Amino acid sequence: MTKVWNSVAFRLALMCGGLVLISVMLFSAVLYVGTVGVLSQEADSKIVSITAKLNDYFDGKGPAALRAKIDQSLADSVDADTEIYLLLNRDGQKVVGNVAPWKGETIRLDKVTERSLLRDDGRRSIGRVLVHRLPDGSLLMVGRDMNDLREITRLIFRALEAAGSIAVLLAIGGTLIFRHVIERRIRKIRYTALAIESGNLSLRIPDYGHQDEFSRLGNDLNRMLDRIEHLMEGVRHVSNVIAHNLRTPLGRIRAHLDESFRGGNDAEVLAREASFAIDEVDGLVTVLDKLLQIAEAESGTRRQPFELVDLDAVITNVADLYDAAAEAEGINLAVHVSHTPKVLGDKDLIASAVSNLLDNAFKYAGKGASIIIDVFEEREGVVLQVHDNGPGIPSSERDKVLQRFYRLDREQPGYGLGLSIVSAIALMHGATFSLEDAAPGLLARFVFPSNRKEHAAANLSKS
């Protein structure tokens, strides 16, 4: 029982069943009040009205006329089965009526009450009656037989009992079906989670195509699993590539150090080998720093809160750093910024991304190339792009160059991490990053989200 009660599906189903039963009870109460209650009120009102009229009749025409009036009402066959009249003189003797007088009972005057009566035909009945004392001391009782209303009440209660029983059965059945449906959908999710936990990352939650809450949850979880599987594949790939890229320089370092420790090497050779080892270690440190930078950007971990960044200032500062190198290589480096757009982000990371793009452009476009940095705003958002007129990248290679350690030209120095860093920084900023054919050359394009909402959020956070 505890296991069943701990089920959210069971509690939800039980709650729905309870609401159904409460609804049936409320409907029954409204039905009862709207039928029996209203009929009882109408009967009471009619009794009070008839009593008042007969009292006025007595005041106007006297006791004999009142007796004749009651005899006429009993003889007219109107409401003969339900009307109750009784007139007693001051001594308690019956003068006229269709019920037997009461004996030894205390009667409340001028108040409609319900009591058992013996009719002249010998039948016992329950009636609602009002007893009124007339000016001459006689007692007038006017009432209505309630047997027909009691029969209606019994019929209503029997109908409500049948409806309530059906409602209970439907609520129990609905509870079980509701619990079964919910648990079946949840069971699929749990089985998928257990299979993934055991190592089967390719399994996904079935999509029934209903577009309900469970389908949307399943789709969200499937997208998350796709992302996790992609990241796991990336981790495995990166682990293999890192092992390969670390083993090669470490092997070279060991070979050179081993060579330097052989006999006969003078101080100059030892110094050269030590310098080579230091350079190789520095290269490994650079690789590790870049990998840490990628990991930080991909994890979404921020070194500092995002703020509104003036792209004009960031791009201008980066371009100033590369002016001397551009002049030495005969490269034409130009910056075009329109309307000084701002984005929400980390200015240091954005500067790092632009620096990596310029490094690639300088390396592959070559001497005498033309490199243009454009910043402008369009409907999709704020665009930052770096355009060169070099050889470009074939369309089949553009996705691959975003992978860690992938190098299009093995003859060029580097580790194949620059574009991976740029892609990770774009992801961290919620921006899209793409490589396109500039015909000739390569167009590296950032599209940052529009800064309108972000501007408001930044102002709110500052306040």
Give residues with Cβ within 8 angstroms of 339, minimum separation 6: 376, 377
Beta-ladder partners of 113: 129
3-state helix, strand, coil in the chain (%, to 5): 60, 15, 25
Task: Give the pLDDT score at 459.
Answer: 42
User: In the predicted model, is pLDDT for residue 221 greater than 80?
Assistant: yes
Q: For residue range 355-373, what is the model confidence (pLDDT) as tens digits? A: 888 988 888 888 888 999 9
Provide the residue range defining the domain that includes 218. Answer: 213-297
132 shares a domain with 19: yes
Task: Give the pLDDT score at 373.
Answer: 92
263 shares a domain with 139: no
What is the chain's Cα-based Rg?
Answer: 48
Decide if 308 contacts 347 (C-beta within 8 A): no
- % of residues, the chain, pLDDT over 70: 84
130 shares a domain with 58: yes
User: In the predicted model, is pLDDT for residue 353 greater than 80?
Assistant: yes
CA distances from 48 to 123, 181, 195, 425 (A): 24, 59, 79, 89
User: Can you tell me the distance from the alpha carbon of 189 to that of 183, in angstroms, rounded to the nearest whole number?
Assistant: 10
3-state secondary structure of 438: coil
269 shares a domain with 307: no
- % of residues, the chain, pLDDT over 90: 8
Beta-ladder partners of 344: 308
Reading the block at residue 84, the tokens are: 């109750």
User: In the predicted model, is pLDDT for residue 458 greater than 80?
Assistant: no
Decide if 449 contacts 430 (C-beta within 8 A): yes
User: In the predicted model, is pLDDT for residue 105 greater than 80?
Assistant: no
User: Can you tell me the distance from the alpha carbon of 428 to that of 164, in angstroms, rounded to the nearest whole number?
Assistant: 60
Higher-confidence residue: 294 or 342?
Answer: 342
User: In the predicted model, is pLDDT for residue 3 greater than 60?
Assistant: no
Determine the angle formed by the axes of helices 147-197 and 8-32, rounding to 10 degrees.
170
Q: For residue range 177-206, what is the model confidence (pLDDT) as tens digits? A: 877 777 787 888 888 888 888 877 788 877
Domains in the chain, number: 3
Amino acid at 273: E
Tell me how far apart the terminal alpha carbons of the chain are, to the nearest angstrom: 54
Instruction: Please indicate, yes or no, if residue 173 is contained in any of the structural domains.
Output: no
CA contacts within 13 A on the Cβ side of 38: 7
Tokens 């190339």 sit on residue: 369
User: In the predicted model, is pLDDT for residue 220 greater than 70?
Assistant: yes
Q: Record the pTM.
A: 0.46
Give residues with Cβ within 8 angstroms of 334, minimum separation 6: 370, 371, 372, 373
Task: Give the pLDDT score at 48.
Answer: 92
310 shares a domain with 219: no
Domain endpoint, select from 104, 132, 152: 152
Domain endpoint, select from 152, 167, 182: 152
374 shares a domain with 439: yes
What are the backbone dihedrals phi and psi of residue 403, each rounded to the nearest 5 degrees, phi first? -80, 150
Q: Which of 232-236, 301-305, 313-317 has the lowest mean pLDDT?
A: 301-305
What are the backbone dihedrals phi and psi of residue 374, each rounded to the nearest 5 degrees, phi first? -115, 140
Domain endpoint, select from 152, 175, 193: 152
Q: How far is CA 283 from the centre of its chain?
A: 49
Q: What is the DSSP letter of 301?
A: -
Instruction: Please indicate, yes or no, if residue 167 is contained in any of the structural domains.
Output: no
User: Can you tell me the distance from the alpha carbon of 135 to that of 144, in angstroms, rounded to the nearest whole number?
Assistant: 24
309 shares a domain with 458: yes
Higher-confidence residue: 441 or 14?
Answer: 441
CATH number, domain of 46, equals 3.30.450
User: Can you tell me the distance from the alpha carbon of 441 to that of 372, in angstroms, rounded to the nearest whole number?
Assistant: 11
User: In the predicted model, is pLDDT for residue 457 greater than 50?
Assistant: no
274 shares a domain with 308: no
